[in-house]
Amino acid sequence: MRFPYKPSPHIKANVSTTHVLHTVLLALLFVAAWSIVIQYINFGADYAIRAVFIILTACATAFVTDIAFYLIKTDGVKYTTLGERLKATLPKAFKEAPLVTALILALSLPVGIPLYAVIVATIFAEFIGKLIFGGVGSNLFNPAAVGIVIAGLAFGSTIVPPDAYAGATPMATIASHYNWRITEAVGVQFICNHCSLGHIFFGAVRGGIGEAARPAILIALVFLIYKKVIDWVVPVVFVGTVFVATLIFGSYLCLGLWYPVLHVFSGSLIFGAVFMATDPVTTPVNRQGRILFAIFLAMITLIIRFNATHTEAMGFSILIMNMFVPFIDRKTGNITTSKPWAKAAVLCIAWVCAIGLALGISIMLG
């Protein structure tokens, strides 16, 4: 009997990339469900229905964008009927994981955003962020972050005014009025009048749809780490660096321990740390690189938070760090500097430099 020749090894993994994407999707759906419930409990059915519409719109748009893209790009294959062409397109569209991108994007948007803005942002995320580079696996930038930045820059002013929906988020108040440089009195007044840290944690404060579901995000984090889908060092190092840096900044402003906690639990920081900073495609491949990525991601997030006019830092900092991923990969792949102590030393120096730079720039400009 004759057999075909195949290269060794003759054993294959029992988990597939598709399986990994489905696990992430499951975690995202859990967060989405939790945040819809949170919207309903805290602000009423009106908000919850809007949130559902935003999520569904984003998912549908992403899927339609993928189908449209592959209907046009057939790789030279000729189809006689449109039905045949559509049939060949569907599996390709599914493979691009449109729902993962759409959910991350939708959950980062505020409830007050108009639906047409969601559609435009999703098309940008899916097409410019992913398909144009050659699909999932080849994209340089995190597609969801592309959409978030588009939504923020192009449609920031169209978000329905405070009384009707969303409202000035506590994040926005602190960020735009004070650029996070608050005094003890302002902070205490703010926390007494508007909310408590507990309120912020449980999402009783207006903000992005998904970022309010912090307990759900933490459960999703534990689930994803348990399933070995994401590397735990990225969120831990990122949040840890933000905490330490803001603790130092807080003591510079003579503020208590609540200040770094407020930083960590406000805005999309936790959401971004779990779902965007851990995206394998747009982050470094090895652990040393991933830690470097997390450290400098924290640095850029803080610099934007302390100094920029735009309130939402996560999307920008993710995109900026995405550009450095090939560079980080190349430098950390060098086997001549692969001694563990050398790696640890590089990381320690990078960590100190990142915190120093973030605080130095902020204090200097402030």
176 touches another protein by CB under 8 A: no
Tokens of 274: 């779990």
Chain position carrying tokens 């689930």: 223
348 touches another protein by CB under 8 A: no
DSSP state of 284: -
Least separation in angstroms between CB 196 and another protein: 38
CA distance 108 to 182: 25
Question: CA nearest 97: which of 23, 12, 208, 14?
Answer: 23
The DSSP bridge partners found for residue 110 are 208
Least separation in angstroms between CB 140 and another protein: 11
Residue from 19, 73, 87, 177 in contact with another protein (CB under 8 A)? 19
Residue from 40, 52, 156, 329 in contact with another protein (CB under 8 A)? 329
CA distance 37 to 39: 5
Question: CA nearest 62: which of 147, 145, 137, 139?
Answer: 147
73 touches another protein by CB under 8 A: no
Contact 97, 21 (CB under 8 A): yes
Least separation in angstroms between CB 131 and another protein: 13
1 touches another protein by CB under 8 A: yes
- Write out the binding residues for another protein, residues 119-158 only, by CB under 8 A: 135-138
Residue number with CB closer to another protein (111 or 292):
292
Using omega within 30 degrees of 0 as the cis cutoff, is the peptide bond preceding 9 cis?
A: yes
Instruction: Annotate each residue in 218-237 with x if it binds another protein (CB under 8 A) or - if it does not, as one string.
Output: -------------x------
11 touches another protein by CB under 8 A: yes
280 touches another protein by CB under 8 A: yes
Binding segment for another protein (CB under 8 A), chosen from 37-45, 104-112, 153-161, 333-341, is 333-341
281 touches another protein by CB under 8 A: yes
Binding segment for another protein (CB under 8 A), chosen from 4-12, 61-69, 82-90, 148-156, is 4-12
343 touches another protein by CB under 8 A: yes
Contact 126, 143 (CB under 8 A): yes
- 336 CB contacts (<8 Å, ≥6 apart)? none
189 touches another protein by CB under 8 A: no
95 touches another protein by CB under 8 A: yes
77 touches another protein by CB under 8 A: no
By CB under 8 A, how many residues form the interface with another protein?
42
CA distance 294 to 317: 10
Residue number with CB closer to another protein (99 or 151):
99
DSSP state of 337: G
Residue from 108, 122, 246, 283 in contact with another protein (CB under 8 A)? 283
CA distance 116 to 58: 10
Side chain identity at residue 8, one-letter code: S
Residue number with CB closer to another protein (13 or 254):
13
Binding segment for another protein (CB under 8 A), chosen from 75-83, 108-116, 144-152, 286-294, is 286-294
Side chain identity at residue 286, one-letter code: N
Least separation in angstroms between CB 232 and another protein: 12
Residue from 20, 25, 115, 261 in contact with another protein (CB under 8 A)? 20
- 160 CB contacts (<8 Å, ≥6 apart)? 112, 113, 114, 166
Question: CA nearest 315: which of 304, 324, 328?
Answer: 304
Contact 246, 302 (CB under 8 A): yes
CA distance 84 to 61: 22
Residue from 57, 288, 301, 311 in contact with another protein (CB under 8 A)? 288
Residues that bind another protein (CB under 8 A): 1-13, 15-20, 95, 135-138, 231, 280-281, 283, 285-288, 329-330, 333-336, 338, 340, 343-344
